[in-house]
Amino acid sequence: MVQDIVFVTGNANKLKEVQMLLSGSDINLSNEPLDLDELQDTDLQKIAVAKCQQAVQVLGAGKPVFVEDTALTFQEFNGLPGAYIKWFLKSMGLEKIVQMLDNFPNKSAQAITTIAYADSEGKIHVFEGITDGKIVPARGPTAFGWDPIFEPLESHGQTYAEMTKEDKNVISHRGRAFAKFNQFLSGN
Ligand SMILES: O=c1nc[nH]c2c1ncn2[C@H]1C[C@H](O)[C@@H](COP(=O)(O)OP(=O)(O)OP(=O)(O)O)O1
Ligand SMILES: [Mg+2]
């Protein structure tokens, strides 16, 4: 059965990836480009759930809706910048983010996507996808966020930005989170 589901995001690059990731499913996806508030927290699930609750409030109950929040965590910084990566990116740019780790040999990082989905009864379900990698000086086109400075362990030396969207989606944080979400939806 085809399900109508609303995805709330104001990020066009994110939307494009999500459309690709859900393209084989029975979901009729629509987008609401609302800029929702994001909690200040290091608990990524809490942030996504609060964002989803706000989406339900704005759009009205009864409509299945989801949001996702994406974080970039540095092991050396015990998880920061995490969800704050958006603001670091805006204020400092890629080069200075890479330089933050100059004095530390540990460049390990995780890209994490947390999806929060409110079903038609308002029950919220959470799905998480994680990709391990490291922070490197920027390589590849700067089309999407921090893609040029994140090199996943499984990519044979390419940054996300150097990969095709198809290849990125196979191993990405977002790809993994949406694989779980897809599986959940197809069982409903
Ligand atoms: O795969 C990705 N590759 C590179 N960069 C990425 C990726 N995914 C999100 N990003 C960036 C966008 C934003 O600077 C921050 C996450 O913040 P995040 O709140 O999830 O995204 P957003 O505010 O742009 O969109 P939304 O309207 O869905 O909240 O990392
Ligand atoms: Mg956001």
Domain ranges in the chain?
3-186
Helix and strand counts by DSSP (H, E) for the chain: 6, 7
Contacts of 127 by beta carbon, 8 Å cutoff, 6+ apart: 114, 115, 117, 177, 178, 180, 181, 184
Q: What pLDDT, on a 0 to 100 scale, did the predictor assign at position 95?
A: 98
Residue 105 has which token pair? 């040999």
The answer to whether the CB of 93 falls within 8 A of the CB of 146 is no
**Average pLDDT of 78-101?**
97
**Average pLDDT of 102-112?**
98
Q: What pLDDT, on a 0 to 100 scale, did the predictor assign at position 24?
A: 87
Q: Residue 188: pLDDT above 90?
A: no
> Ligand 1 centroid vs 12 CA: distance in angstroms?
10
> Ligand 2 centroid vs 70 CA: distance in angstroms?
8
CATH topology of domain 3-186: Maf protein (3.90.950)
Nearest-angstrom CA–CA distance, 124 and 126: 7
Residue 99 has which token pair? 């330089």
| Average of per-residue pLDDT values in the chain | 96
Residue 88 has which token pair? 């670091």
The radius of gyration of the chain's CA atoms, rounded to the nearest angstrom, is: 16
Task: Pick the residue whose CA is nearest to atom 19 on ligand 1.
Answer: 69
- The predicted model scores a pTM of 0.97
Whether residue 179 is annotated as binding a ligand: the answer is no
Q: What pLDDT, on a 0 to 100 scale, did the predictor assign at position 131?
A: 98
> Ligand 1 centroid vs 149 CA: distance in angstroms?
14
Condensed to tens digits (0 to 9), the pLDDT of residues 3-33 reads 999 999 999 999 999 999 999 889 999 999 9
Report ipTM for this prediction. 0.98
The answer to whether the CB of 98 falls within 8 A of the CB of 23 is no
Q: Which carries the bigger pLDDT value, residue 24 or residue 141? A: 141
Whether residue 46 is annotated as binding a ligand: the answer is no
**Average pLDDT of 71-80?**
98
